[in-house]
């Protein structure tokens, strides 16, 4: 990948690794899976996965996936490939075509926006899209693209891994609403308007002060974002509200005529950060008929320890930032978001952010028990018919016991141990998502959701 001009320092490299969270090579060896469930429960989980459809609603595709020594049909360095999916009896997944965001610029970034950023983001989206196309081209007997729920069922019956094409972040699309039609014609079936940082369509739950973002600058959706909701409904594309601000979630759920999905989110009732969903947001998503896919992202599932918070407060004191306990929530414990950062020089930001993320990396990782607690919370708040499961593999996701797709059945064992019935587990592992996907497509305008 050709890099644009930008700062090149070890601090920025640390920011890249820590913010993006891509687990490559030996990058996720910190999971020492010591999961011990009774044999009866493991046998139950194994038998259940032989007869249900299991769907992970958010897996990221690294830009060098399915290249030499990282082929999709080998047990390679990433948390997902066809071999790991087969070992874990994972039936399918939404693979994300995304770019992060204005400042993405390879391993020597991020830095403040410069000319050419949008073009680079578009290039990255295209790389990921072509990777998906190449997987199904190279392994037609092992994988296929599901353009409809019926396709998903058919592929599963044929013993093939079902890929749903999702997109995350409207920034690369500029302000061109017609790009939604283009990508739907290319097979996109789920679309999330935001990622880290605001864009012209929507406010993010994680605005970046370093890029001069202001929280809730649009008040939720812009006019363009409002138009996008209607167009996505017309196209039969599922709207993904993960990563959006609370105001934006409220706007989407008010405007949509079809169910929406939070493809990879956790709950604010357990970890109080804006990236997680509040009880009100959970209810709003349910009211559309939608589904919240609880994500196995460690720091979203369990509060940071007092030891980590103390270290972060010492860091904040050094950089003359207010103590965390004086702030309304712990958002700035998880990312460098204080408004004053907007005026910091890049070197200072790099030093602060690099140290912050190194402190968080020392935090003990969440477990399957923590993931189960978040699933329990969502089920109790909005009901078993509105909850699902996602990993966020290759972008920081994975917990002890579910370090990659090969350990998918361990999640099922955790659910069995908690008393969930086979029917409930089938709903959580894809039944709910497939149900609302069918509804979204049924409510589309005619002849708008066929691939090229």
- Domain boundaries in the chain? 10-24+40-303+364-442
Q: Which residue has the tokens 């409510």?
A: 443
Kindly state the average pLDDT of the residues 51-66.
Answer: 96
- The H or E element spanning position 263 is strand 260-265
| Burial of residue 5, with CB atoms counted within 10 A of its CB: 0-12 exposed, 13-18 middle, 19 or more buried | exposed
**156: CB partners within 8 A, 6+ apart:** 53, 91, 92, 162
pLDDT score at 183: 98
**33: CB partners within 8 A, 6+ apart:** 400, 401, 403, 407, 410
pLDDT score at 452: 52
pLDDT score at 35: 75
CA atoms within 13 A on the CB side of 392: 26
Kindly state the average pLDDT of the residues 16-37.
Answer: 47
Neighbours of 158 (CB within 10 A): 11
How far from the centroid of its chain's Cα atoms is residue 154's Cα?
Answer: 26
Lookup: tokens for 216: 């809730």
DSSP 187-200: TEEEEE--SSS--S
pLDDT score at 263: 98
The answer on pLDDT for 346 being more than 90 is no
pLDDT band of residue 446 (cuts 50, 70, 90) is confident
**Model's pTM, two decimal places?**
0.91
For 205-226, write each residue's pLDDT tens digit.
Answer: 999 898 889 999 999 999 999 9
Lookup: tokens for 63: 């830009």
Neighbours of 221 (CB within 10 A): 26
Give the 3-state secondary structure of residue 103: coil
For 131-164, write each residue's pLDDT tens digit.
Answer: 999 999 999 999 999 999 999 999 999 999 999 9
Q: What's the rounded Cα separation, in Å, for the pair 145 and 315?
A: 47
Q: What is the fold of 10-24+40-303+364-442?
A: TIM Barrel (3.20.20)
Kindly state the average pLDDT of the residues 185-208.
Answer: 95
pLDDT score at 92: 98
pLDDT band of residue 99 (cuts 50, 70, 90) is confident
pLDDT score at 36: 83
Kindly state the average pLDDT of the residues 56-76.
Answer: 95
Q: What's the rounded Cα separation, in Å, for the pair 384 and 429?
A: 11
pLDDT score at 110: 47
CA distances from 397 to 175, 244, 347, 364 (A): 30, 18, 28, 14
pLDDT score at 118: 85
Q: What's the rounded Cα separation, in Å, for the pair 181 and 327?
A: 42
- Closest residue by Cα to residue 294 from 356, 373, 203: 373
CB distance 204 to 243 below 8 Å: yes
């Amino acid at each position: 990948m050709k890099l644009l001009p930008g700062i090149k320092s070890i601090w920025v490299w640390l920011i890249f690794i820590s913010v993006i969270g891509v687990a490559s090579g030996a990058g996720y060896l910190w999971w020492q899976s010591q999961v011990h469930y009774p044999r009866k429960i493991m046998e139950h989980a194994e038998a259940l996965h032989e007869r249900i459809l299991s769907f992970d609603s958010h897996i990221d595709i690294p830009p060098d996936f399915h290249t030499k020594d990282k082929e999709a049909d080998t047990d390679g360095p990433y948390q997902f490939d066809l071999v790991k999916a087969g070992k874990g009896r994972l039936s399918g997944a939404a693979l994300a075509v995304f770019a992060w965001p204005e400042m993405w610029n390879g391993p020597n970034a991020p830095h403040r926006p410069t000319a050419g950023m949008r073009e680079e983001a578009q290039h990255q989206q295209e790389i990921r899209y072509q990777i998906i196309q190449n997987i199904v081209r190279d392994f037609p007997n092992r994988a296929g693209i599901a353009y409809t729920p019926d396709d998903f069922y058919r592929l599963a019956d044929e013993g093939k891994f079902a890929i749903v094409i999702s997109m995350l972040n409207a920034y690369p699309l500029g302000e061109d609403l017609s790009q939604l039609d283009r990508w739907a014609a290319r097979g996109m079936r789920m679309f999330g308007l935001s990622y880290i940082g605001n864009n012209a369509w929507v406010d993010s739950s994680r605005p970046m002060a370093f890029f001069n973002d202001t929280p809730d600058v649009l008040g939720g959706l812009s006019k363009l974002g409002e138009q996008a909701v209607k167009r996505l409904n017309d196209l039969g594309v599922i709207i993904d509200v993960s990563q959006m601000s609370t105001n934006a979630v409220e706007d989407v759920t008010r405007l949509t005529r079809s169910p929406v999905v939070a493809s990879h989110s956790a709950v604010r009732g357990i970890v109080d950060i804006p990236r997680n969903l509040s009880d009100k947001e959970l209810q709003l998503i349910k009211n559309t008929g939608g589904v919240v896919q609880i994500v196995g992202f460690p720091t979203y599932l369990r509060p940071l320890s007092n030891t980590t918070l103390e270290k972060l407060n010492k860091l904040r004191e050094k950089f003359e930032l207010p103590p965390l306990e004086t702030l309304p929530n712990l958002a700035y414990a998880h990312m460098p978001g204080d408004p004053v950062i907007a005026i910091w020089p890049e070197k200072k930001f790099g030093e602060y952010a690099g140290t912050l993320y190194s402190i968080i990396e020392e935090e003990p990782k969440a477990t399957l028990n923590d993931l189960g607690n978040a699933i329990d919370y969502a089920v109790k708040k909005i009901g078993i018919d509105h909850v699902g499961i996602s990993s966020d593999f290759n972008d920081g996701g994975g917990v002890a016991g579910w370090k990659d797709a090969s350990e998918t059945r361990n999640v099922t064992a955790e659910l069995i141990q908690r008393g969930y019935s086979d029917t409930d587990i089938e709903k959580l592992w894809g039944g709910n998502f497939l149900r609302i996907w069918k509804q979204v497509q049924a409510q589309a305008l005619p002849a708008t959701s066929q691939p090229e």
